[in-house]
């Protein structure tokens, strides 16, 4: 069963097996609640309460409460913005800003968009905040449920494939404006390296090399990382480079929030290595953010990358 999620088997999960799809009929013609032997919690949930899945509760088939103002309801929902990931020495760093916007307004200044998926993986999201949080929570339960049912965890590639299947299930809602795009990262126990996977609204996944960013400020963040990133950086240096890139993104993108020293609001930073997922304490994140702000007071455009000749 894990072969589909590991990428070695094509087709939708549990195809042709009603028992494993979570839709087997009981004696009274209804699915037996305790008789569904499936490793997928999302599939189990779909058989009993499909409306609880992300993007499935669309009253009247539209995300817009007022037909006279198309898209107004979607624009008023808080949207998360910039997430950055960078591969480091034997691991990966994931960082996100804290701002959520609703149209041209700042909806929230201290949103968290970086989360632990399991011991060796994490994810961040950009897009509609409420749907993104549902994705995060469901994916966390999905990985826990699989491990309990199978007695082993999915491979990192299998986790990425599973998340892609969930993103694809939100396509109908995404077409109506409730778009969520995750950035999934993790430590690959088989290779001993960090890996990054990006997605589009139709699924994916696409493996990215070295570093990547999603969200409204991603263009500026990736441009900054092109100059700052060095292969085999330490986790501390990679975290510093990510915060520098977030600062540049906030400098050019109004939807991305930079370090807010007066309010003590700093980017969320996490490292995933052989030691597992570690979210940096607020004091460490503050130290990195304050270092970046101090350096920008001297050099507003940030550090320059040295040219290598010969």
Distance CA 40, CA 38 (A): 5
pLDDT at 217: 95
Structure tokens at 182: 């995750």
Q: Tell me the H-state helices in the chain.
A: 2-5, 41-48, 72-76, 129-150, 156-169, 171-175, 218-228, 235-252, 282-298
DSSP 98-148: --EEETTEEEESS---EEEEETTEEEEEEEEHHHHHHHHHHHHHHHHHHHH
Sign of the torsion formed by the C-alpha atoms of 87, 302, 249 and 221: negative
Distance CA 275, CA 240 (A): 20
Find out whether the peptide bond into 205 is cis, omega within 30 degrees of 0: yes
pLDDT at 247: 97
pLDDT at 21: 40
Q: Is 207 helix (H, G, I), strand (E, B) or coil?
A: strand
Distance of alpha carbon 46 from its chain centroid, rounded? 22
Spans of the chain below 50 pLDDT: 1-4, 8-28, 30, 57-71
The answer to whether the CB of 212 falls within 8 A of the CB of 183 is yes
The pTM for the full model equals: 0.78
pLDDT at 57: 45
Summarised one tens digit per residue, pLDDT across range 268-291 is: 999 999 999 999 999 999 999 999
pLDDT at 36: 59
Per-position b or e across 112-137, b if 16+ CB within 10 A of its CB? ebbbbbbebbbbbbbbbbebbbbbbe
Cβ-based burial of 18 (10 A; exposed 0-12, middle 13-18, buried ≥19): exposed
pLDDT at 266: 97
Residues identified as active-site: 81
Distance CA 270, CA 84 (A): 11
Angle between helices 129-150 and 156-169 (to 10 degrees): 130
Summarised one tens digit per residue, pLDDT across range 137-187 is: 999 999 999 998 888 899 999 999 999 999 998 888 888 888 999 999 999
pLDDT at 204: 83
> Quick one: CA torsion of 2, 210, 133, 61, rounded to 10 degrees?
-80
Structure tokens at 111: 């949103």
Structure tokens at 184: 């999934």
Structure tokens at 17: 């097996």
The pairing of beta strand 180-188 with beta strand 211-214: unpaired
pLDDT at 66: 46
């Amino acid at each position: 069963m894990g072969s589909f999620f590991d990428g070695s088997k094509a087709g939708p999960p549990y195809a042709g097996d009603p028992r494993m799809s979570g839709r087997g009929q009981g004696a009274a013609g209804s699915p037996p609640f305790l008789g569904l032997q499936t490793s997928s919690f999302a599939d189990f949930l779909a058989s009993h309460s499909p409306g609880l899945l992300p993007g499935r509760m669309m009253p009247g088939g539209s995300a817009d409460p007022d037909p006279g103002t198309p898209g107004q309801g979607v624009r008023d929902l808080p949207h998360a913005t910039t997430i950055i990931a960078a591969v480091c020495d034997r691991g990966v760093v994931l960082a996100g800003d804290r701002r959520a916007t609703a149209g041209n307004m700042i909806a929230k200044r201290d949103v968290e968009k970086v989360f632990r998926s399991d011991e060796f993986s994490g994810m961040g999201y950009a897009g509609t905040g409420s749907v993104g949080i549902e994705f995060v929570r469901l994916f966390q339960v999905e990985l826990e449920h699989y491990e309990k049912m199978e007695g082993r965890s999915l491979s990192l590639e299998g986790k990425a494939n599973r998340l892609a299947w969930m993103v694809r299930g939100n396509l109908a809602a995404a077409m109506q404006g409730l778009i969520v795009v995750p950035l999934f990262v993790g430590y690959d126990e088989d290779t001993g390296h960090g890996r990054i996977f990006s997605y589009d609204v139709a699924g994916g996944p696409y493996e990215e090399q070295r570093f990547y960013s999603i969200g409204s400020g991603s263009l500026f963040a990736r441009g900054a990382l092109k100059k700052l990133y060095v292969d085999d950086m330490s986790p501390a240096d990679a975290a510093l480079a990510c915060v520098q890139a977030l600062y540049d993104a906030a400098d050019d993108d109004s939807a991305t929030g930079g370090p807010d020293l007066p309010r003590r609001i700093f980017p969320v930073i996490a490292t995933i290595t052989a030691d597992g997922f570690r979210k940096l304490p607020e004091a460490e994140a503050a130290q990195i953010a304050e270092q970046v702000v101090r350096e920008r007071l001297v050099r507003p455009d940030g550090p320059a990358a040295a040219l290598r000749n010969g």
